[in-house]
Amino acid sequence: MNPPDQALTPLTRKDGAPLFDEPWQAQALAMADVLVRSGTITAQDWANTLGAQLRIRMTAAPASDDANAYYGAVLAALQDLLYRSRTVEPDQVARLQRQWELAYLNTPHGSPVELREDLNPITF
């Protein structure tokens, strides 16, 4: 354990490379952990669903066995489990995806993307 006055160092792989390529990868796995710990999904359901998503990706594109394929499977498994548990509805996800898409398309290059409900299709 680090003393309180020392900052935590990033998690790394055995070769010293960062454990996560992007912050969202850690966040996605953290969401799965929260869902299991809260009882929203079971650890067995998480393992089975993630395994199924990985098999789908490896069958469709065996050469794409990389971090992108893995985290794509993580996201698909989370989405599947959230739909099955009725924690979120597909129309809620579709609406949020569209809001993020519009926010991204309406954000000038170099500016942070902000989710807003008042955006109309592309205004630049």
Q: Which two tokens stand for residue 115?
A: 């989710």
How many CB atoms neighbour CB 71 within 10 A? 17
The predicted structure's pLDDT at residue 124: 38
Asked whether the CA dihedral 114, 119, 122, 124 is positive or negative, the reply is negative
Strand partners, 12: 18
**Residue-by-residue pLDDT tens, the chain, 124 positions:** 555 566 656 667 778 777 888 889 999 999 999 999 999 999 999 999 999 999 998 888 877 768 888 999 999 999 999 999 888 898 988 888 888 899 989 899 999 988 877 766 544 3
Contact 25, 67 (CB under 8 A): yes
Predicted TM-score (pTM) above 0.85: no
How far is the C-alpha of 55 from the C-alpha of 38, rounded, in Å?
27
* Positive or negative: CA dihedral 51, 91, 36, 69: positive
